[in-house]
């Protein structure tokens, strides 16, 4: 009896996980950054940035909610345009970058929010991990640069309480209040490069048959 494999093949295709529709992207550190803003002396905002952001994203073209993202920020690159303040922020009073040189985020859930996204995940900073939700704008369309690279870009924002991450240093003002606010607004601008598929390995050249000796030809 002749059996057809077509129904079995079709069933396997339908049962395949959505990961088959996911495209892998790498964060372009040269065009990505993380910024923050915190209240100073209760009267103004101090803004700063981390200049080195790396990581990857798997974007599911069929179902965006099945996408994932991981990012690592180099905390030693903090810059508030004031060298002495930056040095203080790197020491044990704040980020303690000698002990905790990176800040990381790993997504746990992606949800649609109108034309944008809400990305939940775990933020690890100063050795403490806490759940956060990022409001994400973008990442829905691709663009090709002049060199043929496929790119996506977007912006993620959130707010955290620095005390939740053990960043408790402060000083009380004579007029009341504190020198450094507790709430920190975070903005992350990302540019992603689509990972190129590896070129198939070239087939090894066929080995030549050994030449027959005079003895073999007899």
Instruction: Please name the residue that has the structure tokens 């996506």.
Output: 152
In tens, the pLDDT along 40-79 reads 655 568 899 998 999 999 999 889 999 999 999 999 999 9
Which residue in 185, 188, 152, 217 sits closest to 32, CA to CA?
188
Is residue 200, in this structure, part of any structural domain at all? Answer: no
Is residue 151, in this structure, part of any structural domain at all? Answer: yes
Is residue 4, in this structure, part of any structural domain at all? Answer: no
Give me the number of domains the chain comprises. 1
In sequence order, the β-bridge partners of residue 69 are 57
Compute the average pLDDT of residues 16-30.
Answer: 74
In tens, the pLDDT along 147-176 reads 888 888 999 999 999 889 987 766 544 444
Contact 118, 136 (CB under 8 A): yes
Question: Which CATH number do you get for residue 122?
Answer: 2.40.128.110
Cα distance between residue 3 and residue 91, in whole Å: 71
Is residue 174, in this structure, part of any structural domain at all? Answer: yes
Cα distance between residue 160 and residue 186, in whole Å: 8
Range of the domain at 65: 19-194
Is residue 155, in this structure, part of any structural domain at all? Answer: yes
Is residue 11, in this structure, part of any structural domain at all? Answer: no
Cα distance between residue 183 and residue 176, in whole Å: 18
Contact 169, 180 (CB under 8 A): yes
Contact 185, 37 (CB under 8 A): yes
């Amino acid at each position: 009896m002749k059996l057809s494999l077509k129904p079995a093949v079709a069933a396997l295709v339908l049962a395949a996980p959505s990961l088959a529709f996911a495209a892998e992207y790498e964060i372009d550190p040269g065009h990505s950054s993380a910024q923050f803003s915190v209240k100073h002396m209760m009267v103004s905002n101090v803004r700063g940035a981390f200049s080195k952001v790396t990581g990857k994203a798997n974007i599911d073209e069929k179902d965006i909610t099945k996408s994932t993202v991981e990012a690592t920020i180099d905390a030693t690159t903090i810059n508030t345009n004031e060298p002495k303040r930056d040095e203080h922020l790197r020491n044990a009073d704040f980020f303690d970058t000698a002990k905790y040189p990176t800040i990381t985020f790993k997504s746990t859930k992606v949800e649609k929010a109108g034309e944008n996204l809400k990305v939940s995940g775990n933020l690890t900073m100063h050795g403490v991990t806490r759940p956060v939700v990022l409001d994400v704008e973008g990442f829905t369309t691709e663009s090709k640069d002049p060199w043929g690279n496929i790119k996506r870009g977007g912006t993620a924002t959130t707010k955290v309480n620095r005390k939740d991450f053990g960043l408790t240093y402060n000083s009380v003002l004579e007029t009341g209040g504190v020198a450094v606010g507790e709430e920190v607004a975070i903005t992350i601008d990302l540019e992603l490069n689509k990972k190129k598929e590896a070129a198939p390995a070239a087939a090894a050249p066929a080995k030549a048959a050994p030449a027959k000796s005079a003895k073999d030809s007899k």
